[in-house]
Chain A
């Protein structure tokens, strides 16, 4: 029995075994490769997506747990990189290698969706789930502050 859910507003289904991490289904079955594999253990946040409007580690979500739910990936955040977080990310020139940035952006968008005017401490607390080995952290803070202001 395939698992049915929606991804970026479109119906999707997976024939992967129910315990398969949603991450691999998104990346290799649905070919949405913006969501990244970093650790497989929910420790780095490179795999972050939104499920029913809240952020979730797709590597820690079994595909069966996504049944009937609405999944949003970086590809679905906006059609044209116009989400305030994406715009702020470019304005502050956040990415370096860029590999973690889909996950960072999804975490940041989740923060602003639930707390439109976070203070610095709230930003740091929320974003410390996500590792950036290039150390783009100061720019991430600035970009979130910018997005909060400009949204």
Chain B
């Protein structure tokens, strides 16, 4: 089973298309091999919108616009459309939407980009509209066919019903004679289903690609086989901005199967007839690098000390992130001021599939096919076209599943796709370009190093009146996506979002970025800015509560008291964890956050080995309210996943930079959680009738502060630096 799309639909509208008025409402028929219960249509297919094609055999093909990296959007987005279409899910085929921003853009970003746990939240309204519009087209056609008023018709799964006469027409039967109107029918908000009418939303279905993921047939780009394909490996510069200086490749050229050595502005590529020839050839290269680029001499341990000083140094230039009232002025009037400092090391994505892509440049270089797993397919098309200096419509794009994304695969340059294209262009043959795990670590783009300085002011009555959070950190968006950075006028949400804890009811709040410029390769990573910001904020909140002698859960509850959803979720986790009960030999830590509208609280139980400094987390309780829960069991799965990811960040994961270069190489020196390290997880999804919000990473930022807070409860000692490794714990304990 492959999921590539027929080239006839790419990238411009083609063969069968309909214009029905509204700008951009061009209908194209997608072919290609779909996912879902029904794998192929046997009847005549009728495109009823750019999103929906109904076959006369009664199967319904629905476009899925998001990238699938394990989070389940491939299923949940078309399911939302199917709900309002009133489709029979067992007859739905899911088609991966082709790269076409005009039709399929993520409304939250303005282009096809899957990130920030926002696919469901951003597409939800549109997909319901699109589903309801097609349903209306079907109703109108049935009414005309029976010559009855459309108001007398209702629908059931894949069927239009005329109750009065007892007549029924399946969607497939209507498709056979359907006339598609010139303009999409209007659907008022009031015509959409009420949550209690949902048949699909809120009811778990099998994720459409899951059956392929238990038998080895799921296709990732690394699995692609193209006739005549060669293999590419690349030695990239250890430091961003460095270039090959002296390249000794004589030894590499003697290796059997090495076809060509390709000198690139940022590295040296080796093309071989086999993967082992390409890898061995790369290993045999000896390359020295120009001392261009900014990060030469950079040392992450020393830099973090400097970052911490900058975070506290009020004379440093800052960028305002968020402001309510006047925190500095209120701080001056405060009866008590409490300060806290926190630090975070660099973190690596460690998606299980080392980055790779396959490209096939045409013999004269004027066209290219590309197979890749990316968080933005329209960026991938642009990257491939730009690499060759050709128009985007000369790129045939094949969408592949991703072996993990976690924020690593949506950079504006999608450099691993570029690598494949330039290597293929060098030989004008198909090339599968693969990074090894070591390449994936060394070429990593990391969650940035950060140092946080927080202070809080209480008035004489004990009320928290001022909150000030300064974060010294590289501006990630500037590196990851210069286009977005410019569009946002230098405002960097990837590094600083949530800095001022805007959901806490504190009258004076100030969040300030203290931008650093290290020249390191940085990236969004699961949890994004919150990963480090919440470690600082939720640790600090705990510190404040303890210093004021207030229960940490009650302290937070009081700071969200006008938000009943937040209060409910805090109370729920307190109940689940039996928060008030003291444990023997272990202790609990509490956390809460409002993650882009999703309410989530989390408590962790921690055991400390005082001799070794090792922390163990036997149990984690969490509850989240994401509004409407589109696929509840998948929300549980994503939350389990988020917790495990957060555990690695909390306890073991760190990248070290010495003289600008990454020191770690593979899973032996970059430790991600294994099964024998994970806690028992008790997770409750608490849906409400609110607009759905994100579920893909919400627990991740809460794990580290929950652990640190438990250690504070257990020992009175505050851990301030992630990862909280045994040596750091021992040092903190003194």
Contact = CB atoms under 8 A, between A and B. Distances in A.
B222 to A, nearest CB: 7
Interface string A40-74: 11011010000000000000000000000000011
A44 to B, nearest CB: 6
Nearest to A85: B214
B363 to A, nearest CB: 24
A140 to B, nearest CB: 7
A141 to B, nearest CB: 7
Nearest to A17: B276
A32 B215 CA distance: 11
Q: Of residues B215, B406, B638, which shows the largest number of chain A Cβ atoms within 10 Å of its Cβ?
A: B215
Interface string B214-252: 111111101101000001000000000000000000000
5 contacts: A36-B222, A44-B667, A90-B211, A125-B676, A131-B352
A52 to B, nearest CB: 20
A137 B678 contact: yes
B681 A138 contact: yes
Contacts of B209: 98
Binding site of A, secondary structure by majority: helix, strand, loop or mixed?
loop
B723 to A, nearest CB: 16
Given A20-B276, A36-B352, A134 B70 contact: yes
A97 B206 contact: no
Contact of B69 (A17, A97, A130): A97
B365 interface: no
A140 B434 CA distance: 29
In the A-B complex, the 6 residue pairs with the closest CB atoms: A34-B216, A135-B644, A99-B403, A97-B70, A98-B213, A96-B70
A43 B668 contact: yes
Interface of A: 16-17, 20-21, 24, 27-29, 31-41, 43-44, 46, 73-75, 77-78, 81, 86, 89-90, 93-102, 105, 124-125, 127-128, 130-141
Interface string B662-696: 00001110001111101001000000000000000
A151 B542 CA distance: 49
Given A90-B206, A132-B352, A141 B214 contact: no
B644 A38 contact: no
Interface residues of B, number: 61
Contact of A131 (B218, B276, B672, B681): B672
Nearest to B220: A99
Interface in B353-390: 353-354
A99 B353 contact: yes
B401 to A, nearest CB: 7
A33 B225 contact: yes
A41 B256 CA distance: 23
A17 B272 CA distance: 14
A39 B640 contact: no
B633 A93 contact: yes
B210 A90 contact: yes
Given A44-B352, A128-B675, A95 B214 contact: yes
A39 B666 contact: yes
A99 B220 CA distance: 8
A75 B223 CA distance: 14
Contact of A28 (B275, B352, B666, B678): B275
A136 B641 contact: yes
B640 A139 contact: yes
B352 A139 contact: no
A136 B675 CA distance: 9
Nearest to B647: A135
Contacts of B351: 97, 99, 133
A44 B405 CA distance: 17
Nearest to B667: A43
B666 A97 contact: no
Contact of B215 (A34, A39, A46, A127): A34
